A and B are shown apart, each in its own frame.
Chain A
Amino acid sequence: GENVEQHPSTLSVQEGDSAVIKCTYSDSASNYFPWYKQELGKRPQLIIDIRSNVGEKKDQRIAVTLNKTAKHFSLHITETQPEDSAVYFCAATKGAGSYQLTFGKGTKLSVIP
């Protein structure tokens, strides 16, 4: 089955700096890669996603890049703010035609004012 590795597990950055979180996946048939932000005790919130036919997608301060050959995708947050502090999860569909999501282990991002 699909295996999603996420690094780092914790990340501290100064306010205004950039943060990068990386994920790798094992199933070459995976075709959808969302990123979620989860605050304590709440449901995950989708912040950005990318499909396998796209290499990069950007939404204001957030961007995601996908390298299908290497089977890795990354989340980039620029100009970080204290409210960006949360746990971020990457995920990948289990394979073509499947809607099951396999999640990475999460990255706890702390933005220091």
Chain B
Amino acid sequence: GAVVSQHPSRVICKSGTSVKIECRSLDFQATTMFWYRQFPKQSLMLMATSNEGSKATYEQGVEKDKFLINHASLTLSTLTVTSAHPEDSSFYICTLPRGRSNYGYTFGSGTRLTVV
């Protein structure tokens, strides 16, 4: 099945800095990728839908200027948390839907972001 590589797995950054998280599809054309955020002991909340070659679609309440998504190729989607604050500390995870012929989703391994 599809394999998604997500990096970094853990990152600690200072307030005000930016962090880039990468999700790379190793064996499947990723025209769409979903980015989720999970706070401790909470569920996964959809942040945005990343579309190859076009602008991402953001969920209500998610600041598009703060969470920059780039999906310039069929193998790579990136999420950049800009001007990070402690409240951005969370588990970020990408998900690759495998399409109509094979329902299912491949999850990246997740990125634990801690902003100090």
Q: Do A and B bind each other?
A: yes
Q: Does residue B112 face the partner (Cβ distance < 8 Å to A)? A: yes
For B, the interface residue count at a CB cutoff of 8 angstroms equals: 21
A41-B112, A89-B43, A100-B46 known; A49-B103 Cβ under 8 A: yes
Q: Give the complex CA separation of A103 and B46 in angstroms.
A: 9
A42-B110, A43-B108, A89-B43 known; A101-B103 Cβ under 8 A: no
Q: A8-33 CB contact bits vs B (8 Å, 1 = yes)?
A: 00000000000000000000000010
Contact (Cβ within 8 A) A89 B44: yes
* Residues of chain B lying within 8 A (CB to CB) of residue A49: 103-104
Q: Give the complex CA separation of A46 and B95 in angstroms.
A: 12
A89-B44, A99-B32 known; A43-B103 Cβ under 8 A: no
* Residues of chain B lying within 8 A (CB to CB) of residue A42: 109-110
Chain B positions 46-95 with a Cβ under 8 Å from a chain A Cβ: 46, 49, 91, 93, 95
* Residues of chain B lying within 8 A (CB to CB) of residue A102: 46
Q: Give the complex CA separation of A95 and B95 in angstroms.
A: 17
The smallest beta-carbon distance between A68 and chain B, in angstroms, is 16
* Residues of chain A lying within 8 A (CB to CB) of residue B110: 41-43
Query: What are the 8 A-B residue pairs with the smallest beta carbon separation, nearest first?
Result: A99-B97, A43-B107, A105-B43, A103-B44, A103-B43, A32-B103, A43-B110, A106-B43
